[in-house]
Amino acid sequence: MNPFWIALIAVIVVPIIGGLLAGIDRKITARLQGRWGPPIVQPFFDFFKLLGKSRIATSRMQFVWIYGYLVFMIACLVFLVLKLDILLLVFLLGFAGVSFALGGFSCKSPYSHFGANRELLQMLSYEPVLLLMALGIYAQNGSFMISEIFNRSEPLLASLWPIFIALLVILTIKLRKSPFDISTSHHAHQELVKGIMTEYSGPYYALIQLTEWYEIVLLLGIIALFWANPLWVGILIALAAFILELFIDNIAARMTAGWMVRFSWAIGLVLCVLNIAYLYLMKGVS
Amino acid sequence: MGIIHTSRIKSPWIMHFDNSSCNGCDIEVLACLTPLYDVERFGIVNMGNPKHADVLVITGPVNRRTARVLKNLYAQVPDPKMVIAVGTCACSGGVFHNCYNILGGVDKVVPVDVYVPGCAARPEAIIDGVVLALQKLAQAQGVAK
């Protein structure tokens, strides 16, 4: 099949999957709290309602950054579905995060600045682990290409399971779930107002939600790569990881930003470095 | 544009503002969000930010200080927006209506769509008020509810 059509279908289908996942998230969270919960299609109602609201602009520059956030996230997704370079995918994910943080910095609201500062701390805690994940895949495969992962018969999870555990911590930070929901909070709105998303309203807030849906599917896709052959096992593992995140979200309270950086570096970096060192020293991967 | 109109009715995000109420109605508004009444099944989410809200839920009588804040908050809510006055004080000033610092009900400052009387207003009445506001919105847009 033509790569252009694969990319186009992914760009259209992925937000629908992401929105349904967000709806399942709200439903399961409600059931865990003893509530009935909204219908699963509720995120789509929210999205279309926000599209129909009036546009209030506090700064024009923030809209440039928010479109950048969306475009970089779509670029990451295209890299994943076309099975291109995973190192460049990690870099593009970093650009997306930087665009979002700069969007928060581009208006004068103190809440927005606060959220953007915390978003930068989040990036500080997850970017090294993502880079080391790409290095670990290189150490195992001798190539950064995602297509090489699909060609192997043995799953990555067998030799890279410490990196997989580190990636689960990163997933919690990237999805902004408790105990790491420090730049913006989906439930306790009163503390930060809405953190980095404070100044976005109406259609622009809808764009952020759309980007978050892309992000959910992209991260679960990266997790599915760890059992890429056959892929359905990987997708089941990714869904199990998603449900696990929901449970952690509901049993954990928010922690401080400094604790987040210490935790993700102490657990994530140590696991990644030990994994890569083991691959190079013990197995003699060259 | 049918899907946008339908979505407006399916997902009202409320923002709760306390003028100078005795906290009775505020507790009842928060009771709506607890698992017992669980208004999230109707898509109602409590937002702390006027820029994300659709429905302003206002409790308590307006005094000379909060009038300025209320006008500011009302201006920051993007259109289309609804205002619900919850409790007798928010409807008319209640027992405070002749006090020297009280302007009266919420409608002295911002236009009100739905009045929910009661001291304090019961959670069922507040949920009915939100549903009534959405019906008014649907009628104004010509969408069958």
**Residue A91 identity:** F
Best probe of the A interface among B5, B9, B11, B36, by most A CBs < 10 A, is: B11
pLDDT at B74: 93
Does the complex come out with an ipTM higher than 0.90?
no
pLDDT digits (tens, 9 = 90+) for A141-191: 888 988 888 888 888 888 889 999 999 999 999 988 888 887 777 665 556
Task: Quote the minimal CA–CA distance from B45 to chain A in Å.
Answer: 9
CA B24 from chain centre, in angstroms, equals: 15
pLDDT category of residue A40 using cuts at 50, 70 and 90: very high
Q: Is the Cβ pair B49, A44 closer than 8 Å?
A: no
- A235 neighbors B111 (Cβ within 8 angstroms): no
Strand partners, B56: B15, B83
Of B106, B116, B119, B123, whose CA–CA distance to B29 is shortest?
B123
pLDDT digits (tens, 9 = 90+) for A1-19: 788 999 999 999 999 999 9
Query: Is the pLDDT at A227 greater than 80, yes or no?
Result: yes
Strand partners, B57: B16, B84
Q: Is the Cβ pair B51, A26 closer than 8 Å?
A: no
pLDDT digits (tens, 9 = 90+) for A231-285: 899 999 999 999 999 999 888 888 888 898 999 999 999 999 999 999 888 777 6
Nearest neighbour of A45 by CB, restricted to B11, B48, B76: B11
pLDDT at A65: 92
A48 touches chain B (CB under 8 A): yes
Q: CA A45, CA A100: separation in Å to the nearest integer?
A: 24
Q: CA A134, CA A140: separation in Å to the nearest integer?
A: 10
Which stretch of DSSP H or E encloses residue B15? strand B13-18
Under DSSP, is residue A166 helix (H, G, I), strand (E, B) or coil? helix
Residue of chain B minimizing CA distance to A36? B41
Q: Is the Cβ pair B40, A198 closer than 8 Å?
A: no
Q: Is the Cβ pair A194, B48 closer than 8 Å?
A: yes
- A124 neighbors A261 (Cβ within 8 angstroms): yes
Once rounded to an integer, what is the mean pLDDT over residues A212-236? 92
